[in-house]
């Protein structure tokens, strides 16, 4: 089918009329976009039926533990990818294949708190292979494969707590980082809380990524002083090899942080020369520490997830690697830590300040060379603020948080307290435009906006407060994002769209960098699931004591077998269902009455498993839950369950004819 | 106890319910030379070449295939393997099942039509009068697109020809 990318816009006024026909109007479109009227704005976001959006946007689902996939400029929601979360639609973390994905050293965790997506890069540019995301609560980093738009790997981060400065990738995806927002004893131990100061650590974890497979492994953890490491971005270009982390609570307060962590005029950006530490570790440096952390891997061939246990990591004391870590004083409790496309400017937004501080990478190197060290904190040299300073955006706004870049010499910063996005010029540090957002903006995202090559056409603002922007739905409102056109001198607000809660950061990429690699089916020939039946010839039933495995198939519109007898109360029945379809977008579902685990949705060529423990004798139906064809309503079958002591023979049939082997082990 | 499914089957298939086929806009391009069948055409759909219908059907194969009369045994064997893996859930050789029996299909239909039914069933069941009639006859069971390549479909066709040669 021919698809047209939506580079130009076709239609117009109707959409806006419909979308904005009612509800409070706080501003006229004219105010929004100068001479633009509503119809003209509508044209810029309208994607006609059958056409495609120009960009993918991956928005964090925050406390839902999921990642949502939207199109830009339409804002349409395409998919919700379960990551650190069980999922009702697909049975993720419930079915036998994927339940290992929610395993941690704390046991099974149904959902976590997903914050920052970042797309893999090659030579500092988005390559569209994987999206990495972090879990803040129980520290983990996940990898989503953009061939399948599925989570394929989750690695737990030991020695960390509040994994917030994560999951940012270096410019060739050598590493994904994970730094600690809530300093903790390393290793964990029983001690008085008020003795935190000097005794807690922040583990800056560098996760190595295999360049071919994407497989992650913890390379080393740098044990930094016990501050709150908040966000990070990698150096790029000339600063490749360095990672920059903001910190706050350098006061090391353990209580009432809203006062006690705001005492110092300046906190630090930690500049970590990871290449130097990598070399140190490769030469045998660092200490091995015993840990326990889960490494969950989804094998796309066997279509099964497994947990491997990490039992040891290498920890590095930064004091033993001179020149590897420096602190750059930065006012005031800096939050966002963003590096411009050239790699020269490191932007620290002091969230309790009205100013935005910009450090210069080349000045930093010079300050190091010239020994402009003003202090040493826990053995880490603190560089002279004025020696590394490139500039300050004075009185930028209140509560500056995050900065993205358009690749045309401008930076955009979100301002939480004043609810606005400001545009300022790199080099002369002057604000050239500002625009209100509704309300209390957190992160902003320009596709590629934190890489060497931003696509400076759209900016998405992700807001913390929705209030009156949509029809009310009780006390709980949808989360919301707003889309701006940033192709001109002035920002133009185009669209409000609802998102999952809570959209922290997002990552965007031109769709054309992704679509050609996206899988349409799982080829049956490549299905190595140990319980797959890859044709109706391979159907069978196997009893091992009370455990019964049924190798079933599904195709429009029947199951094989569809009549099963010889199941007994007390059995644990595994339905291994393989979808024999090889056509794009033809999943089948499987559900059986009283199943306590999952209903599953099985993609073409895939095998998934439902466990069922019948409680009483009877005849019980199962059916396809995904409307698959005109005969979908006919896609059903029955299981006969007999008393535990019955001797009803095992029998599987289709169309009243025996099908497949019956094996009793 | 072991009983395998009989591999009896047929050449066309079941495919998707017309109303369900998600990517409907393809069909808007129109069925060249194959207007929606009239009642009369539908009733006589067993034959080919009714006024207006494209005897090749709708799909990628629009050139006459000119097959040799000899069966390519190797190709037919490959076709049999593919058929067993991808088609037997719905087609048996000798009897009606979810879809029509395979036996005789190369006598009932042109090879181009069979190829198109395998390769572009969504279009066929919406636009080809014979295919549409078959969907009705088979209670709305649509022929599934099993994603065969043209080469694979050709092998399956050779297997069907072999079956019909043997009978």
- The share of chain A scoring above pLDDT 90, in percent, equals 91
Could you state, in order of their start, the residue ranges of all structural domains in chain A? 53-517, 533-664
The answer to whether A298 and A101 are in contact (CB under 8 A) is yes
pLDDT digits (tens, 9 = 90+) for A361-404: 999 999 999 999 999 999 999 999 999 999 999 999 999 999 99
Average pLDDT, rounded, for chain A: 94
Question: Chain B closest CA to A8's CA: distance in Å?
Answer: 21
Which one, of A550, A571, A529, lies nearest residue A638 by Cα? A550
Among the partner residues A524, A556, A658, nearest to B144 by beta-carbon distance:
A556
Please name the member of A524, A631, A657 whose beta carbon is closest to the beta carbon of B139.
Answer: A631
Give the residue numbers in B contacting A (CB under 8 Å), as ranges. Answer: 1-6, 14-20, 22-23, 25-26, 84-86, 88-90, 97-98, 139-142, 144-147
- A534 touching chain B per CB within 8 A: yes
Q: What is the pLDDT of residue A45?
A: 96
CA distance A537 to B68: 32
For residue B136, CA distances in Å to A653, B107, B108, B130 come to 27, 21, 18, 10
In the prediction, which pLDDT does B2 show? 38
CA distances from A167 to A53, A118, A243 (A): 26, 6, 12
Contact check, Cβ <8 Å, A657/B3: yes
Residue A436's DSSP bridge partners are A420
Give percent above pLDDT 70 in chain A. Answer: 95
- CB-based contacts of B30, cutoff 8 Å, min separation 6: none
CATH class of B9-16+38-63+83-167: mainly alpha
Interface contact flag, B3 A557, Cβ < 8 Å: no
Say if the Cβ atoms of A1 and B18 lie within 8 Å: no
Tell me which DSSP letter residue A650 carries.
P
Looking at chain B, which residue has its C-alpha nearest residue A554? B89
Residue of chain A with shortest Cα separation from B89: A536
Among A1, A556, A581, select the one facing B26 at the smallest CB separation.
Answer: A1
Backbone angles phi, psi at B28, to 5 degrees: -70, -15
pLDDT for the residue A351: 87
Q: Do A68 and A77 meet the contact criterion of CB atoms below 8 Å apart?
A: yes
Closest approach of chain B CAs to the CA of A636, in angstroms? 15
pLDDT of the residue at A37: 82
Provide the percentage of residues in chain B whose pLDDT is more than 70.
68
What residues of A are in contact with residue B28 (Cβ under 8 Å)?
none
Rounded Cα distance between A508 and A460, Å, is 9
User: CA-to-CA distance for B78 and A661, rounded, in angstroms?
Assistant: 25
Q: Tell me how far apart the alpha carbons of residues A130 and A120 are, in angstroms, rounded to a whole number.
A: 5
ipTM of the complex: 0.73
pLDDT digits (tens, 9 = 90+) for A512-523: 999 999 999 999
Tens digits of residue pLDDT in A198-214: 999 999 999 999 999 99
Q: Min CA distance, B53 vs chain A (Å)?
A: 23
Q: Judge whether A150 and A298 are in contact, CB under 8 Å.
A: yes
pLDDT tens for each residue of A162-176: 999 999 999 999 999
Contacts of A534 in chain B (CB under 8 A): 85
**Strand partners for A662:** A541
**Which residues on adjacent β-strands are paired with residue A576?**
A551, A609
Q: Is A563 on the interface with B (CB under 8 A)?
A: no
Q: From the CA of B18, how many Å to the nearest CA of chain A?
A: 8
Q: Do B4 and A535 touch (CB under 8 A)?
A: no
Q: What is the pLDDT of residue A4?
A: 53
Query: B16 or A303: whose pLDDT is higher?
Result: A303
Question: Residue A460's Cα: distance from chain center in Å?
Answer: 16
Which of A50, A556, A658 shows the shortest C-beta gap to B1? A658
Q: Judge: B86–A586 Cβ closer than 8 Å, yes or no.
A: no
pLDDT-based confidence at residue B10 (cuts at 50, 70, 90): very low
**Helix (H/G/I), strand (E/B), else coil: A100:** helix
Task: Give the CA angle between residues B162, B166, B167 to the nearest 5°.
Answer: 120
* Contact across the interface for A582 and B16, Cβ inside 8 Å: no
pLDDT class of A5 with cuts at 50, 70, 90: low
**CB-CB neighbors (< 8 A) of A628 in chain B:** 20
* Chain B residues within 8 A of A627 when measuring between CB atoms: 20
Among A561-565, B38-42, B65-69, B142-146, whose mean pLDDT is lowest?
B38-42
CATH of domain A533-664: 2.60.40.420
Q: Residue B5 and residue B27: Cα distance in Å, rounded?
A: 35
Question: With contacts defined as CB-CB under 8 Å, which chain A residues touch B17?
Answer: 629-632
pLDDT for res A12: 38
For residue B55, the model assigns a pLDDT of 93
CA B13 to chain centre: 6
- CATH code linked to domain A53-517: 2.130.10.10
Is the minimum CB–CB distance between A543 and chain B shorter than 8 Å?
A: no
Contact A555 B18 (CB under 8 A): no
Structure tokens at A527: 């299905």
| Cβ-contact B87, B98 below 8 angstroms | no
Over residues A271-297, the mean pLDDT reads 98
**pLDDT per position as a tens digit, A36-83:** 688 899 999 999 999 999 999 999 999 999 999 999 999 999 999 999
Bridge partners (DSSP) of residue A103 are A108
A488, burial (CB in 10 Å: exposed 0-12, middle 13-18, buried 19+): exposed
CA separation for the pair A341, A4 (Å, rounded): 30
């Amino acid at each position: 089918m021919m698809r047209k990318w939506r580079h130009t816009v076709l239609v117009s006024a109707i959409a806006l009329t419909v979308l904005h026909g009612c509800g409070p109007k706080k501003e006229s479109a004219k105010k929004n976009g100068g001479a633009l009227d509503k119809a003209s704005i509508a044209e810029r976001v309208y994607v006609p039926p059958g056409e495609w959006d120009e960009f993918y946007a991956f928005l964090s689902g925050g406390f839902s533990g999921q990642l949502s996939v939207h199109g830009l400029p339409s804002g349409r929601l395409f998919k919700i990818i379960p990551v650190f979360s069980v999922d009702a639609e697909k049975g993720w973390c419930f079915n036998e294949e994927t339940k290992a994905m929610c395993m941690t050293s704390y046991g099974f965790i149904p959902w976590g708190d997903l914050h920052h997506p970042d797309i893999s890069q090659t030579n500092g540019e988005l390559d569209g292979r994987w999206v990495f995301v972090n879990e803040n609560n129980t520290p983990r980093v996940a990898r989503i494969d953009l061939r399948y738009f599925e989570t394929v790997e989750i690695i737990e981060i030991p020695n960390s707590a509040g994994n917030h400065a994560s999951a940012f990738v270096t410019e060739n995806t050598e590493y994904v980082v994970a730094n600690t927002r809530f300093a903790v004893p390393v290793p964990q131990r029983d001690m008085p809380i008020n003795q935190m100061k000097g005794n807690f650590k922040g583990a800056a974890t560098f996760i190595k990524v295999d360049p071919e497979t994407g497989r992650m492994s913890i390379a080393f953890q740098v044990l930094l002083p016990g501050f709150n490491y908040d966000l990070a971005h990698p150096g790029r270009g000339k600063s490749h090899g360095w990672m920059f982390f903001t910190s706050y609570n350098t006061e090391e307060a353990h209580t009432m942080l809203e006062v006690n962590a705001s005492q110092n005029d300046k906190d630090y950006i930690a500049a970590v020369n990871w290449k130097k530490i990598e070399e140190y570790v490769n030469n045998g440096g660092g200490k091995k520490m015993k840990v326990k952390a889960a490494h969950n891997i989804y094998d796309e061939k066997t279509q099964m997830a497994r947990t491997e246990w990490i039992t040891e990591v290498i920890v590095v004391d930064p004091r033993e690697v001179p020149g590897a870590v420096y602190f750059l004083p930065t006012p005031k409790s800096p939050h966002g830590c963003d590096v411009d496309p050239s790699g020269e400017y490191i932007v620290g937004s002091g969230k309790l300040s009205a100013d935005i501080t910009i450090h210069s990478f080349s000045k930093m190197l010079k300050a190091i060379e010239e020994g402009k060290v003003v202090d040493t904190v826990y053995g880490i040299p603190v560089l002279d603020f004025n020696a590394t300073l490139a500039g300050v955006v004075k009185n930028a706004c209140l509560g500056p948080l995050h900065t993205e870049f358009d690749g045309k010499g401008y930076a955009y910063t979100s301002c939480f307290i004043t609810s606005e996005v400001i545009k300022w010029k790199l080099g002369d540090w002057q604000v050239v435009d500002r625009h209100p957002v509704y309300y209390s903006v957190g992160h902003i995202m320009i596709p590629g906006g934190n890489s060497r090559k931003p696509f400076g056409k759209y900016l998405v603002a992700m807001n913390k407060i929705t209030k009156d922007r949509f029809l009310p739905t009780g006390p709980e409102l949808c989360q919301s994002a707003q889309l701006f056109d940033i192709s001109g001198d002035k920002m133009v607000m185009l669209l409000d769209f609802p998102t999952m809660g809570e959209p922290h950061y997002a990552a965007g990429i031109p769709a054309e960098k992704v679509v050609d690699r996206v899988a349409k089916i799982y080829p049956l020939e490549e299905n190595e699931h140990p319980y797959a039946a890859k044709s109706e010839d391979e159907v069978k039933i196997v009893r091992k004591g009370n455990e019964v495995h049924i190798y079933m198939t599904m195709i429009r519109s029947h199951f094989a077998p569809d009549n099963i007898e010889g199941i007994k109360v007390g059995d644990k029945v595994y339905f291994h269902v393989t979808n024999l379809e090889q056509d794009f977008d033809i999943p089948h579902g499987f559900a059986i009455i009283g199943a306590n685990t999952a209903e599953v949705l099985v993609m073409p060529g895939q095998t998934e498993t439902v466990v069922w423990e019948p409680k009483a004798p009877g005849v019980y139906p199962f059916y396809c839950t995904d409307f698959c064809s005109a005969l979908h309503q006919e896609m059903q079958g029955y299981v006969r369950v007999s008393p535990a002591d019955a001797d009803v023979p095992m029998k599987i049939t289709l169309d009243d004819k025996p099908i497949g082997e019956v094996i009793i082990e | 106890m072991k009983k395998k499914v009989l591999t009896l089957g047929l050449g066309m298939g079941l495919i998707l319910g017309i109303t369900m086929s998600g990517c409907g806009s393809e069909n808007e391009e129109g069925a060249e030379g194959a207007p929606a069948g009239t009642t009369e055409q539908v009733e006589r759909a067993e034959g080919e070449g009714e006024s207006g219908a494209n005897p090749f059907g709708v799909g990628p194969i629009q050139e006459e295939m000119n097959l040799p009369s000899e069966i390519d045994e190797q190709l037919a064997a490959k076709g049999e393997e593919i058929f067993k893996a991808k088609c037997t859930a719905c087609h048996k050789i000798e009897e009606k099942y979810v879809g029509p029996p395979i036996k005789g299909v190369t006598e009932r239909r042109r090879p181009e039509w069979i190829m198109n039914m395998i390769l572009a069933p969504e279009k066929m069941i919406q636009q080809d009068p014979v295919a549409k009639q078959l969907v009705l006859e088979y209670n709305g069971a649509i022929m599934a697109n099993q994603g065969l390549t043209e080469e694979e479909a050709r092998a399956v066709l050779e297997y069907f020809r072999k079956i019909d040669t043997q009978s």
